[in-house]
Chain A
Amino acid sequence: MLLNIKNLQAEIDEKQILKGLNLEINPGEVHAIMGPNGAGKSTLASVLAGKDNYEVTAGSVAFDGQDLLDLDPEERARKGLFLAFQYPVEIPGVSNKLFMQTAVNAVREEQGLPPLDMFDFDAYAKDKIELLEMRPDLLERSVNVGFSGGEKKRNDIFQMALLQPKLCILDETDSGLDIDALRLVANGINTLRSEERSFIVVTHYQRLLDYIKPDHVHVLYDGKVIKSGGFELVHELEENGYDEIVKQHQQA
């Protein structure tokens, strides 16, 4: 098992958001996490990535056999956990090239591999740019500066392709994208799917999932998974909305 979340409870500013969440993910699986606003979807993504301002109050997370919660954010990243951000951050004056060469070499160091020099990195990055059909000047541009919303999200997917993580968490990557940008992002994700790589796709809407076709779908409500199922659950939600599932859960 790649990821095993047991009874995870977490709070921010002394407000409890996650209230005993369980989730098991095997290598190669794609899990979608859906749910209404405020259910704790983005909190789950942030807690897994190790963002400071969240405090884990109970539960455990095993990632590839290790205690994930014991690791610093950069260690989690080096061990193969990747978060595609809802709002990718701009870093003026820092080229994508320097940024990603530093990141790739950090991960390689963790794996005991020698660092890629500028030329090796260029060649490596060019392949990924072609694979994802990104604009050729991407490496020369400052990280996310002057990028449209769609470009920022695609830049995150490009970073994912370079870092080759074991677990990719997509935090509402589809938010704010028009239909064309959404298709490009979805294609990028599908290109990166493999038997070893797992995904957690956090989303509000089914649109993205229609392209990605997840293996498992979970409905998150009030800090817990209240229903899990296969891809058919997406359509059930589409027809009945969250209310129906929430009502069933509350009656149970």
Chain B
Amino acid sequence: MANAEKSTELQAPETQYEEINDLLDKKNQHYKEGFFTSAQVETFDKGLNEAVVRAISAKKDEPEWMLDFRLKAFKHWETLEEPHWAKAEYAPLDYQDYSYYSAPTCGSCDSESGSESEVDPEVAKAFAELGVPILGENANIAVDAIFDSISVSTNKREDLSELGIIFCSFSEAVQDYPELVQKYMGTVVPYHDNYFAALNSAVASDGTFVYIPEGVRCPIDLSTYFRINEAKTGQFERTILVAEKGSYVSYLEGCSAPVRDTYQLHAAVVEVIVLDDAEVKYSTVQNWYPGDDEGKGGILNFVTKRGICEGKNSKLSWTQAETGSAITWKYPSCILKGDHSIGEFYSVALTNRSQQADTGTKMIHIGKNTRSTIISKGISAGHSDNTYRGLVKILPSAEGARNFTQCDSMLIGDQCGAHTFPYIEVENATAQVEHEATTSRIGEDQLFYCKQRGIREEDAISMIVNGFCKEVFSELPLEFAQEAEELLAISLEGSVG
């Protein structure tokens, strides 16, 4: 294992722009989360076969039904071919060249997890560096921190359990709430759904389990922070979120990884179940390492996120700010089954350098008077490709369904691409579907106007881009919105001559 030092030190910024400028000034350090933590770890040998799947399950001391689920998924996965229909070019992956389990060996990996003092100090330091409050120091948020394959700390669980809320790692849920996990796992994203979902089902390492009981409004934001640390490791987390009738929760996730010169694989599955009159807000700020200027290294972010609005009047909102990853393949979707249920998708996806993103959503209208809104903002810079791919499907049963889609692309420079693939399938004549799309380039005129007022080009670009994204950022919880704005500025470094 190599020793590495963290790459930047942040000073307390006086203004938001000052911080951005500081970061912009540090050449080649634009990815401030790119440090590597040297903690004691146990990592499986590279390779994937049935024995590895069994070993992961054994490591976690899993019950028989969980192992069966994994094996079934693995057998199915072996019959599948890696999909390459996304608008992204990369060589097929060698799945035998990855390790499928890596975990810090001290701290909360033993069965006493959940007690907050036992995290490996190096790991705790890494999360502190990332600004993740794993010790419960922020009163407004509860955090599940995932380091490579396992959850190292989940805080505020006692406070939440008084309300009947379950917020724990996926592994613990398998042990402590087997009925709930069995009831919901694979119901929204079945193991045979797609190649990466099958892979995830087979080797799922950890993840977060959230259960909000009937009528409970979760008083604080729940969040998971995902950190991939080891080289050549895949992270395959599985997140299940259940909102019982009349409940509400806001859930956030953040992601980062060290700078590596080879691809790291992230294939997650997220399942969200929303029952009658319940509401779930699911926000993501994704800042996985994007690879270098030549497209070397970075995270392959192949994620299946799907929620079902099972009950009437239920609501699910996905909000995402995607600035990282070498390749993104991700379509957070809503199945609107309950009558009068609502699905929303607000997305900012920024690509720079050689990044390739193919992202969007699916809104499947089944229930009567179901409504969905899609606001997608794609920003392409450098040599990157940014694709919106979305499906709006109105089934015959979806009397009175409505969808509004707005899909805006912004180009910075002339070496990048923006693509839009909206699919609309309507099988009920009472449906109303609206689609608006624009493509713009940051205008020379806009930049000159800003410069003539004394504003630097970098500041002008970040200001214009943030303005472009405002509708989406306003959907994010406040602290996340600011983080997203700052990330955009950093990610845009060097995007214009």
* Partner-B contacts on A (CB < 8 A): 49-52, 72-74, 76-78, 82-83, 85, 88-89, 91-94, 98-100, 102-103, 105-107, 110, 115, 117, 142, 159, 163
Contact = CB atoms under 8 A, between A and B. Distances in A.
Contacts of B59: none
B451 A73 contact: yes
B89 interface: no
Interface stretch (B40-48, B141-149, B259-267, B438-446): B438-446
A110 B468 CA distance: 29
Given A89-B443, A98-B463, 18 more contacts: A51-B448, A73-B448, A77-B453, A82-B452, A83-B452, A85-B452, A89-B445, A91-B449, A91-B463, A91-B464, A93-B468, A93-B470, A94-B463, A99-B455, A102-B17, A103-B453, A107-B454, A115-B15
A80 to B, nearest CB: 10
22 contacts: A49-B452, A73-B452, A74-B451, A74-B456, A76-B452, A78-B454, A82-B452, A85-B452, A91-B449, A91-B467, A93-B468, A98-B463, A99-B455, A99-B463, A102-B17, A102-B459, A102-B463, A103-B455, A106-B453, A106-B455, A107-B454, A115-B15
Contacts of B112: none
A94 B454 contact: no
Nearest to B473: A93
Contact of B449 (A76, A85, A98, A142): A85
Contacts of B469: 93
Contacts of B451: 50, 72-74, 77
Contacts of B444: 52
Nearest to B446: A89
Contacts of B471: 93
B413 to A, nearest CB: 15
A44 to B, nearest CB: 15
A46 B467 CA distance: 26
Q: Among B459, B463, B468, B470, find the residue whose CB has the most chain A CB atoms closer than 10 A.
A: B463
Nearest to A145: B467
Contacts of A78: 454
Contacts of B454: 74, 77-78, 103, 106-107, 110, 163
Q: Among B452, B455, B466, find the residue whose CB has the most chain A CB atoms closer than 10 A.
A: B452
Nearest to B467: A93
B16 to A, nearest CB: 10
Contacts of A99: 450, 453, 455, 463
B113 to A, nearest CB: 43
A99 B447 CA distance: 12
Nearest to B448: A51
Contacts of B14: 115
Nearest 10 CB-CB pairs, A to B?
Answer: A93-B467, A106-B454, A94-B467, A103-B453, A77-B454, A93-B470, A89-B449, A73-B451, A74-B451, A78-B454
Nearest to A159: B453
B452 A142 contact: no
Interface in B398-457: 443-446, 448-457
Nearest to A90: B446
Q: Among A78, A85, A91, A142, find the residue whose CB has the most chain B CB atoms closer than 10 A.
A: A91
Nearest to A109: B454
Contacts of B448: 49, 51-52, 73, 89
Contacts of A50: 451-452
Given A93-B467, A93-B468, A115-B15, A88 B449 contact: yes
B453 A163 contact: yes
A170 B470 CA distance: 32
Contact of A142 (B15, B443, B453, B467): B467
A182 B367 CA distance: 57
Contacts of A91: 446, 449-450, 463-464, 467
Q: Among B445, B448, B453, find the residue whose CB has the most chain A CB atoms closer than 10 A.
A: B453
Contacts of B452: 49-50, 73-74, 76-77, 82-83, 85
A103 B459 CA distance: 10
Contact of B467 (A92, A105, A107): A92
Interface in B116-163: none
Contacts of B470: 93
B146 to A, nearest CB: 34
Contacts of A142: 467
Given A115-B14, A115-B15, A93 B456 contact: no
A110 B448 CA distance: 19
Contacts of A72: 451
Contacts of A74: 451-452, 454-457
Contacts of B450: 91, 99, 103
Contact of B466 (A52, A89, A93, A107): A93
Nearest to B474: A93
A85 to B, nearest CB: 7
A77 B455 CA distance: 9
Given A91-B464, A93-B468, A94-B466, A102 B446 contact: no
Contact of B468 (A85, A92, A115, A117): A92
A107 B453 CA distance: 9
Contacts of A102: 17, 455, 459, 463
Contacts of A105: 15
Interface in B189-236: none
A49 to B, nearest CB: 5
B436 to A, nearest CB: 14
A102 B452 CA distance: 12
Q: Among B15, B451, B463, B466, find the residue whose CB has the most chain A CB atoms closer than 10 A.
A: B451
Contacts of B17: 102
B471 to A, nearest CB: 8
A118 to B, nearest CB: 9
Contacts of A163: 453-454
A98 to B, nearest CB: 7
Q: Among A74, A77, A99, find the residue whose CB has the most chain B CB atoms closer than 10 A.
A: A74
A100 B446 CA distance: 14
A94 B452 CA distance: 16
A59 B240 CA distance: 70
A154 to B, nearest CB: 16
Interface string B456-497: 110100011011111100000000000000000000000000
A80 B474 CA distance: 35
A142 to B, nearest CB: 7
A105 B450 CA distance: 13
Contacts of A115: 14-15
A110 B454 CA distance: 10
Nearest to A160: B453
A50 B451 CA distance: 10
Q: Among A50, A77, A78, A94, find the residue whose CB has the most chain B CB atoms closer than 10 A.
A: A94
A82 B453 CA distance: 7
